């Protein structure tokens, strides 16, 4: 069995009782950084065998770990924060485990982009997750490909590149595109800055960006309105006078 175990993105209380039980019971905990995971386990008084599994060695270790699980071992995979596989190592191990007939279970739990999206005030019924933009090659191409995206878009970014990212998005998507930049999710200094791309960029030009960021950007304007125009209104709002749709 392979368990994918989400770990807190900030507050250590954001871990489930099931996750704690699994971490106690498995034969091995595969960790992106054994020091980070070691502190979490120590906090909850869990003694577990920790083995490194990160983006620099996963190509070489995934098949071997999958073979050990196929032979009877039970393992849990954790990243430094959030759900493994979401902009973190995990995909290669899951693929290898599935190929060798190992059962894979992903526990529900913490991930950074969901609270950032839901609290953004932007539509969250349809969205696309883009993760980290390429740092150099392919960055402009990726943004250009998203210019006409109608869904709400979600990006991860480091504090060192967040103002650059906001500036580039404003150039490609338009400076007036709505945006919410959320940092330090579930931590003491959690903050969401909402406004247009230009306004949010200006804010972080003045206030030094700190912590990991989730940038939520509205989709291409007019997309929702276009759908409404093809639908027949059933009534008018008695207060605003705006048409109401089914």
Spatial distance between the Cα atoms of 142 and 20, rounded to a whole number of angstroms: 38
Residue matched to tokens 């945006």: 179
Spatial distance between the Cα atoms of 108 and 101, rounded to a whole number of angstroms: 22
Predicted confidence at residue 240, as pLDDT, reads 46
Rounded to two decimals, the pTM is 0.85
Q: What average pLDDT does the segment 7-19 reach?
A: 96
Task: Report the length, in residues, of the chain.
Answer: 246
Predicted confidence at residue 221, as pLDDT, reads 84
45-104 confidence digits (pLDDT tens): 999 999 999 999 999 999 999 999 999 999 999 999 999 999 999 999 999 999 999 999
- Closest alpha carbon to 220 in 181, 171, 174: 174
91-118 confidence digits (pLDDT tens): 999 999 999 999 999 999 999 999 999 9
Predicted confidence at residue 228, as pLDDT, reads 43
200-221 confidence digits (pLDDT tens): 999 999 999 999 999 999 999 8
């Amino acid at each position: 069995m392979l368990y994918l175990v989400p770990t807190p993105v900030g507050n250590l209380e954001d871990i489930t009782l099931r996750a704690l039980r699994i971490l106690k019971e498995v034969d091995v905990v595969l960790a992106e950084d054994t020091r980070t995971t070691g502190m979490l386990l120590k906090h909850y008084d869990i003694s577990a065998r920790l083995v490194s599994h990160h983006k620099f060695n996963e190509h070489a270790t995934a098949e071997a770990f999958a073979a050990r699980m196929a032979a009877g071992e039970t393992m849990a995979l954790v990243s430094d924060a959030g759900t493994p596989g979401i902009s973190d190592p995990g995909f290669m191990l899951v693929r290898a485990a599935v190929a060798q007939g190992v059962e894979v279970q992903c526990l529900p739990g913490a991930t950074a982009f969901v609270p950032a999206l839901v609290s953004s005030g932007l539509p969250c019924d349809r969205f696309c997750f883009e993760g980290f933009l390429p740092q150099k090659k392919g960055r402009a191409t990726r943004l250009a490909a998203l210019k006409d995206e109608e869904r709400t878009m979600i990006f991860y970014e480091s504090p060192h590149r967040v103002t650059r990212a906001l500036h580039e998005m404003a150039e490609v998507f338009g400076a007036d595109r709505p945006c919410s930049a959320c940092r330090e999710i579930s931590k003491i200094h959690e903050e969401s800055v909402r406004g247009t791309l230009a306004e949010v960029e200006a804010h972080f030009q003045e206030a030094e960006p700190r912590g990991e960021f989730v940038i939520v950007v509205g989709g291409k304007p007019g997309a929702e309105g276009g759908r409404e125009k093809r639908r027949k209104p059933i009534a008018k709002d008695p207060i605003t006078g705006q048409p109401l749709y089914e």
